[in-house]
A and B are shown apart, each in its own frame.
Chain A
């Protein structure tokens, strides 16, 4: 099946710094990727849809200037948390639709645990 990777798997940073998270489709091309945030004991909340070659689409309530998304190639999307604060500490997960247009499955990355001190 399709494989999605994320880097780093975990990161600890100081308040006010920026953190970049990478999401890669390893064996298929993904023109669309999705970024989710998951707080402890909560569900996955969609933050934005990343589109290769165009601007990302953000969900209501998500600050586009704080969560910068760049989908520079067909296999890479990056999420940059700018000026991170402790309330941004969360589990960030990306996903991508599979290579088969008729197959509805989405493939999730392993997630990135962000801790902001």
Chain B
């Protein structure tokens, strides 16, 4: 089955700096890669996603890149703000109705 590894586990950045979180996956058949932001005690919220036929996607301060050959994808947050502080999870899915395999999560702390 699919295995997703996520690094780093914690990330502290100064407000205004960029944050990068990286994930690798094992199943070359995986075709959908979402990123979720989860605040304490709340549901995961989708912040950006990318399909396997795309190499990069951007939405304002957030971008995701995908390298299918190397089987890794990354989340980039620019101009970080204190409200970006949360746990971020990457995930990978193999088929349209299939289950997600989540990474271990990254605790991001943005200090003013």
Contact = CB atoms under 8 A, between A and B. Distances in A.
A45 B99 CA distance: 11
Contacts, number: 48
Interface residues of B, number: 22
Nearest to A104: B32
A34 interface: yes
A43 B42 CA distance: 13
Interface stretch (B12-20, B43-51, B77-85): B43-51
Contact of A93 (B43, B45, B49): B43
Contacts of A34: 99-100
A108 B44 contact: yes
A81 to B, nearest CB: 19
Interface in A62-99: 91, 93, 97
A100 to B, nearest CB: 10
Given A32-B97, A101-B96, A106-B100, A43 B43 contact: no
A25 interface: no
Interface magnitude class on chain A: 20 to 34
Main SS of the interface on chain B? strand
Contacts of A46: 99-101
B43 A108 contact: yes
Contacts of A49: 99
A91 B77 CA distance: 27
A110 B89 CA distance: 16
Nearest to B44: A108
Given A44-B44, A113-B41, A104 B99 contact: no
Interface of B: 32, 34, 41-46, 49, 51, 89, 93, 96-97, 99-105, 107
12 contacts: A43-B89, A43-B104, A45-B102, A46-B99, A91-B41, A97-B96, A104-B34, A106-B34, A108-B43, A110-B42, A111-B43, A113-B41
